[in-house]
Amino acid sequence: MLKKIRTILAIVMLVLVTLLFLGVSWRINLWFGFVAKIQFLPAVLSFNVVVLILLLLLTLLFGRIYCSVICPLGIMQDCFSWLHGKFKKNRFSFSPEKKCLRYIVLALFVIMLVVGVTPVTTLLAPYSAYGRIVNTLFKPLYEMLNNALAHYEAQHNLYHFSEVEIWMRSVTTFVVAIVTLLALAVLAWRHGRTYCNTICPVGTFLSFISRFSLLKVSFDKDACKQCGLCEKNCKASAIDFKNCKVDYSRCVVCGDCLEKCKFDALHYGRVSKAPVAVEEKAETVDEGRRSFLLGAGLMTATVAMAQPKVKVDGGLAVIEDKVAPERKTPITPPGSISAQNMQHHCTACQLCVSACPNHVLRPSKSLMTFMQPEMSFERGYCRPECTRCSQVCPTGAIRPITPEQKTEVHAGYAVWLKENCIPLTDKVSCGNCARHCPTGAIQMVDYEGAKVPSIDTAKCIGCGACENLCPARPFSAIYVEGNVMHHLQ
Amino acid sequence: MNSTMDRREFIKHIGGAAMAASLLAACKKNDTPAPGVSGLDGNGSMTYRTNPNTNDKVSLLGYGMMRLPVEAGGTMRENPDSPINQELVNQQVDYALEHGVNYFDTSPAYCQGKSEGSTGIALSRHPRDRYFIATKLSNFSPATWSRQASIEMFEKSLKELRTNYVDYLLLHGIGMVGEDMDGIEVFNKRYMGNGVLDWLVEQKKSGRIRNLGFSYHGDIKVFDMLLKWHDEGRYHWDFAQIELNYLDWHYADEINPRNTDAEYLYMELHKRGIPAVIMEPLLGGRLGTLPDYIVKRMQEREPQTPPARWAFRYAGTPEGVLTVLSGMSYMEHLVENVATYSPLRPITEDENTFLMQIADEVYNLKNIPCTACSYCMPCPYGLDIPTIFSHYNKCISEGNMPNPEHPTATYKKARRAFLIGYDRSVPKLRQASHCIGCNQCLSHCPQRINIPEEMRRIDEYVEQLKRS
């Protein structure tokens, strides 16, 4: 029974989180956006006390059920493990807890989180690791399907699917995602929940509480016939059948053992007597325990992906692709308050990148803000009516804002580059930047016999309409510099 | 009410009978029956008009060679890189000749410069005395405005068309304005100062040009000047090509104050006995794709008659019309148009009143009067001007113009259809938002549409839709 409930809940959760990251429909974000917000680490980062208390209570009551039904990365690993179980039965065995490793990783994680060494924290965070996998690996596939449908619909005058541009936002993020997926797939295939019980900081943290949870899996020593089936089917390697013990720091309450036991010797419920904590001498670290982090670097060089180019038609002028200018300060989306706030709260899950309909957000390549979102305007600009990134962000890195509030957030300011400006180079009138500035921050003024833009930086909100719609290519004649902290007024 | 019913019934019977007769006739002639053609037309032979200057018997349907089919499918508008599908052109020219069409109109500028060559290949497979060739001295680039370049252009036309004389030569698009020149100035620079017009007159004397005329777009001062010269005996115009259709008859200057009603143009020619060649009988196809409620009105009056046929009948009815040009890309259009004029059923007074009512309704749609001739292309900043306009017009015709200020129950759906359809038909980088207003297209538009202004209007509309 426990297993059935767990499986159903887990599948529902996995599907919802995946749909969220695929960006299937904005409605899913509106209705089920909460599944991102009840994730542990995002809740910590956004100081979401309500969710935190609920999660702690949940663990205190039921054990690490969070890892089995809420964490998408955990569920994903269960899928791999389950798949292997189809071929090879009874393949697990008990191994003692790697306390040392767990605590060191957790301690480092907490330190880095506080200090703000984001590259490492974002790599380890389970929820955002899953987000990156779906966003960078599966979303393009979904988009291809979407475009095929849109193509079909275009011939039948239907308007449910609109064609989207598929492009790789960051090669590094792509590589990180693929390495994460492969490493986890291998680990889960061979040893079940290894990652969750050795590396995952959330798992380690929750294990402190789960040791004292109200409901637990426990042995009925009298009924137990010492067949060992429970241990052989524990993907957390947490059951020591010889001693009739369960390691509650690692048990994720999946219910597999209950199902397997033919003698009804395992029960999930209150345990009257506090069980003796499993204390075995730690064996030396064996294979499969290697941090998948190491793998990330190794694979970087192996993947070379061609970026799809814009197609051009013959009777039409060729349009050169825009190239992003080098910005001294990266632009963070309205609602993120400041680069600092972004850096401290973001787990680089890519949910905002996935939700951005204007292709503005993409993962950062710089080391300190590794894979965290930043804005650039080669393919679109931050449209005034859109606040989607602020609505989906579960970690408080981008706080919710309304379109009205957004008009008062100055995320950056425009800078004019004289040498690219069309009225001076091509000797034609232009003014496309001024025409499209939503705040009227640009006025065309006389300069060297032409009308050129003059920017009132006090009015500029850094939306990038000017940069995106500037006819100068590949470098725009007007571009946006980020504000270190957004100006409000 | 009763009488309308009666008439409808009557027409239905006539229609059925006509169809049967046409099928019978087709069988008797052992000819390809016109597929898809039904109703009252196409049961006889082509109507011809006589050119009083040369006594040419010209078919009322003229073949415009500006939208030829291409290998990749469709025309160069859809597949600009694709070469012309010569096999189809040959087939269509053969069908046209077989069914009495004998006027073929091309230009050195059409189909990215490939039209004359293709026309030459198709026509040279037939005896030269079976058809009339019309081509033009085009004037799009000031680089061709010298005497030398003009002569070369004419000689090249002869070569491409595989002939040593042209039946109808036109000064292409007189009245078009330059970037900072009015129509008269452009005309003088193009044809007068360099003696090109006099050179053409010489060619006419030597028989290399049989009829000399002009096609007119735009500045009415030039049109009036040329006719004054005709009256004074300074130059003789054997024919003139004008835009005429049931919308432009009265509405051309309402649609754009800088244009002139077709009625004036035609009457000026007619009273001088100058035969009129008609272009844009369908306004670039717009009179062929009307909103459902207008089509319904037309079909209630005459079932099975496509809207385009009304427009062709209208354009062919005035007796001073020598031929009506249609840029037929597809065989089916050719078959349909041949049927329309075999023979012409002239528009009656009653029908004329009816079409004027239809014109009122079409005018009230407030379409952008683009005929998709693509003279404005390529836009140096990458915009796909004709496709942007045609999407906008299509949405008007389909009644899919969501109004963000007064959203109706279907607003969301219409908004979605408009925006998604826009992205589908025009890539984002070629949409109206990228028009910088450089105004380089302005002088190229024969309809004298203020393209940058319309782009801005469409852009603002799209912006409004996106924000709501």
Residue ranges covered by each domain of chain A: 313-488
Question: For chain B, how many residues are written?
Answer: 468
The list of chain A residues with pLDDT below 50 reads: 274-314
- Flag whether residue B437 sits within 8 Å of chain A, measured between CB atoms: yes
What are the chain B neighbours of A451 within 8 Å (beta carbons)? none
What are the chain B neighbours of A430 within 8 Å (beta carbons)? 436-438
Give the DSSP letter of residue B156.
Answer: H
Contact B440 A428 (CB under 8 A): yes
Contact B456 A150 (CB under 8 A): no
Helix then strand then coil, % of chain B, to nearest 5: 50, 10, 40
CB pairs under 8 A between A and B: 81
What are the chain A neighbours of B419 within 8 Å (beta carbons)? 162
Beta bridge partners of B457: none
Closest in A316, A435, A469 to B384, CB measured: A316
Q: What ipTM, to 2 d.p.?
A: 0.72
Which residue of chain A is at minimal alpha-carbon distance from B460?
A: A436
The answer to whether A120 and A176 are in contact (CB under 8 A) is no
Per-residue tokens: A114: 């506080």
* B214 vs B239: CA distance, rounded Å: 7
Q: If DSSP codes are grouped into helix, strand and coil, which group holds residue B239?
A: strand
- Looking only at the bridges linking them, the beta strands covering B321-326 and A239-240 are unpaired
Contact A313 B437 (CB under 8 A): no
Which residues of A sit within 8 Å Cβ distance of B?
150, 154, 159, 162-163, 310-311, 313-319, 380, 383-385, 422, 426, 428-432, 435-436, 469, 471
Enumerate residues 405 to 434 of chain B having a beta carbon within 8 A of any beta carbon in chain A. Answer: 413, 416-417, 419-421, 423-424, 427-430, 433-434
What are the chain A neighbours of B374 within 8 Å (beta carbons)? 315
Which residue of chain A is at minimal alpha-carbon distance from B434?
A: A469
Which residue of chain A is at minimal alpha-carbon distance from B436?
A: A430
> How far is A29 from chain B, CA to nearest CA, in Å?
19
Q: Within 10 Å of residue A449's Cβ, how many Cβ atoms?
A: 8
- Flag whether residue B208 sits within 8 Å of chain A, measured between CB atoms: no
What percentage of chain B exceeds 70 in pLDDT? Answer: 91
- The whole-model pTM stands at 0.71
Which residue of chain A is at minimal alpha-carbon distance from B457?
A: A435
Give the pLDDT confidence score for residue A476 in this predicted structure: 95
> How far is B218 from chain A, CA to nearest CA, in Å?
24
- Flag whether residue B457 sits within 8 Å of chain A, measured between CB atoms: no
Contact B81 A422 (CB under 8 A): no
What are the chain B neighbours of A444 within 8 Å (beta carbons)? none
Mean pLDDT over the full length of chain B: 87
- Flag whether residue B440 sits within 8 Å of chain A, measured between CB atoms: yes
Average pLDDT of span B134-159: 88
Closest in B382, B416, B467 to A384, CB measured: B467
Distances (CA, A) of B460 to B388, B428, B432: 13, 15, 9
Contact A310 B380 (CB under 8 A): no
pLDDT in tens, B180-217: 788 999 999 999 999 999 999 999 999 999 999 999 98
Q: If DSSP codes are grouped into helix, strand and coil, which group holds residue B344?
A: strand
What percentage of chain B exceeds 90 in pLDDT? Answer: 60
Q: How many CA atoms lie within 13 A of A200 on its CB side?
A: 29
Contact B467 A159 (CB under 8 A): no
The answer to whether B291 and B359 are in contact (CB under 8 A) is no
Closest in A154, A426, A471 to B434, CB measured: A471
Contact B433 A150 (CB under 8 A): no
Select the residue from B66, B76, B115, B429 to test the A interface by mutation, using most A Cβ atoms within 10 A: B429
Select the residue from B425, B438, B442, B456 to test the A interface by mutation, using most A Cβ atoms within 10 A: B438
Q: Check pLDDT > 60 for residue B33.
A: no
Q: Within 10 Å of residue A157's Cβ, how many Cβ atoms?
A: 9
Tell me the domains of chain B and their CATH numbers: 38-364 (3.20.20.100), 385-467 (no CATH)
Which residue of chain B is at minimal alpha-carbon distance from A158?
A: B417
Average pLDDT of span B90-101: 96
Contact A429 B430 (CB under 8 A): no
Contact A316 B430 (CB under 8 A): yes
Contact A430 B436 (CB under 8 A): yes
* A423 vs A432: CA distance, rounded Å: 11
* A183 vs A76: CA distance, rounded Å: 12
What are the chain A neighbours of B437 within 8 Å (beta carbons)? 429-432, 435
Which class in CATH covers the domain with range A313-488?
A: alpha beta
Give the pLDDT confidence score for residue A311 in this predicted structure: 24
Contact B436 A428 (CB under 8 A): yes
